[in-house]
Structure 1
């Protein structure tokens, strides 16, 4: 029987692979397209996944590290893609699609690496402040792939709205 930690890491690995496979089928020309004003574009979705994974799996679990800005520009991503941010139709406001993907992959890799080394005691530790969806570090880590999948679904929907075939 797998441990809670093994299940969490496996889920993080699976959703990372699924996300990246989906993004392999997104044309760069579609990254900043919006089907209507105010609707998040693919660039926002991917940047949001990156900053959310950072917040859920790294910052909430072990706190901020001075090395985090080497993974990606944390404060810039929080402003552009964090909770409450609004999509801007001007691509010049954002990093290029390849830079956003690079940031996402760096976060995914770091999350899996650090999560793999956690103890059950760490998973059981309370998070302060408590979130409406979770109250422990383990619950935050279990929520992260669900949150990522929600946004990958939105990316898939945007692809379809832009006239592309379904991937699955």
Structure 2
């Protein structure tokens, strides 16, 4: 698939974005909703939270770039909410549906972002300013990190390893 971008800086990030779009879907393959909530006697983020957090992140970046919709489980993740004990998170299929909805929309927004916009600073939180480029680079890194955590959970829960073939 050919990727066309308004800014040359976005090309490599969109290659990674496409890879992670596929790997996230593969990482959730065949995992039961029951297993997605297991923490194996740790305080680690479980698969359900990691999944919803990744979906939320894509929606939030799209919102920053002008898209107005939210994921179905927004209340569980907005404003940086961490994992909540004793909460039943939505099914992985719901997160996948939202992921499949937002991914092409966000990809299009990212492909159209200009160098001027990438260099623009905004206040991420009080006292912390970033450029859009810094934010997008960080979220691409974070996606890989979270997908890696889900891949580890797959193995810890007895599932087959994440497949990286057939890109």
Q: TM-score range by the shorter chain?
A: 0.7 to 0.9
Q: Does 1:147 align with 2:151?
A: no
Number of residue-to-residue matches in the alignment: 157
1:11 match: 16
Larger mean Cα displacement after TM superposition, 27-36 or 115-124: 27-36
TM-score (norm 2): 0.78
Cα displacement (A) at 1:8: 2.2
Q: 1:131 to 1:166 in 2, by over 3 A?
A: farther
Matches for 1:18-29 after TM superposition, within 5 Å:
18-29=23-34
Cα pair 1:9 1:112 within 8 Å, conserved: yes
Q: In angstroms, what is the RMSD of aligned CA positions?
A: 2.7
1:1-168 paired onto structure 2 within 5 Å: 3-36=8-41, 38-55=43-60, 57-60=61-64, 62=65, 65=67, 67-69=68-70, 72-73=71-72, 75-79=74-78, 83-91=80-88, 94-129=89-124, 135-167=130-162
Cα–Cα, structure 1 residues 136 and 47, in superposed 2: closer, same or farther, change >3 Å?
A: same
- 1:27, 1:95 → 2: CA distance? 12
1:68 alignment partner, SS class:
coil
Find the aligned partners of 1:104 and 1:25 in 2 and give their Cα distance.
16
Give ranges in structure 1 of 5+ residues lacking alignment.
none
Q: CA deviation at 1:51?
A: 1.1
More helix, by proportion: 1
Shift of 1:115: 0.9
What is the TM-score normalised by the length of structure 1? 0.77
- Measured against aligned partners, the alpha-carbon deviations of 1:79-110 in whole angstroms (never above 9, x if no partner) come to 5xx6342243453xx22221111112222222
Give me the whole-angstrom Cα distance separating, in 1, the residues matched to 2:154 and 2:92.
15
Structure 1's 27 and 132: CA in aligned 2 closer, same or farther, altered over 3 A?
Answer: farther
Shift of 1:24: 1.9
User: How many Å separate the matches in 2 of 1:141 and 1:167?
Assistant: 25
